[in-house]
Amino acid sequence: MELMTSYERRGIEKGKEQGIKQVALNLLSDGMDVQKVVELTGLTEPEVKELKNQQND
């Protein structure tokens, strides 16, 4: 059995995080409100608001 290194685990976690943020961006693009995106993604409200602001730039 192959053991993952800490770098591999960190890479996997970073990939998951990026995927969740992409889903949040898609939900925001479809007009979903910030609170619902927070509930569905598990991101914090400040994280979702930051994504929304980046999207509007």
Specify if 16 maps to a domain.
yes
Specify if 32 maps to a domain.
yes
pLDDT 10s digits, 6-42 = 899 999 999 999 999 999 999 999 999 999 999 999 9
Percentage of the chain beyond pLDDT 90 is 84
Rounded CA-CA distance 24/18 in Å is 10
What pTM does this model have? 0.83
Residue 56: the pLDDT is: 82
Which are the contacts of 41, defined by CB distance < 8 A and separation ≥ 6?
20, 23, 24, 27, 48
Residue 33: the pLDDT is: 97
Q: Is the pLDDT of residue 1 over 60?
A: no
Residue 4: the pLDDT is: 78
Which are the contacts of 29, defined by CB distance < 8 A and separation ≥ 6?
55
Q: How many structural domains compose the chain?
A: 1
Where in the sequence is the domain holding 37, given as residue range(s)? 6-56
Specify if 1 maps to a domain.
no
